[in-house]
Amino acid sequence: MSAACLPGSDLPEPIFPVQRTETEWRQKLSPEQYRVLRGAGTELACSGAFHDHHGQGSYHCVGCGNLLFRSPEKFDSGTGWPSYFQPATPQSVGTRIDTSHGMVRTEVHCARCGGHLGHLFEDGPAPTGLRYCINSVVLEFRPELP
């Protein structure tokens, strides 16, 4: 994690390659997508399109199209949210400390637009032991072509 993401850091917030005004974000996204991606919200468990999705392909950021995860790294965590044991590439996502709601967690965000995706936990399967717990509403699925 970079020092810019640590609480109390004097470094400026990171600047992401994809920048839009709040008006542009609201025009691009549905109200629920905006609430989660730009407002760090969370969708209800088991409500998202991808929590029980088994198609082969890739998952991209609904805000900017960035490749985030691939289906071979997806697993059923039993939590009601899509879960992955690693991102598509090390550069696909970033993390930062989240101290909201009286908890200390690791937030996962899109590395291109900075949009909130979900949270990272250390209770996932091998080989990483990680669980990227992601909101379906911020994902766009692109099926593999034959």
Task: Supply the residues annotated as catalytic.
Answer: 133
Token pair 């965000």 in the structure block, residue: 109
For residue 102, how many other CB atoms are within 10 A of its CB?
5
Q: With DSSP H G I counted as helix, E B as strand and the rest as coil, what are the percentages for the chain, rounded to 5?
A: 20, 25, 55
Going from the C-alpha of 66 to that of each of 40, 55, 92, 134, 141, the distances in angstroms are: 18, 19, 7, 15, 11
Could you give the CA distance from residue 21 to residue 141 in angstroms, rounded to a whole number? 25
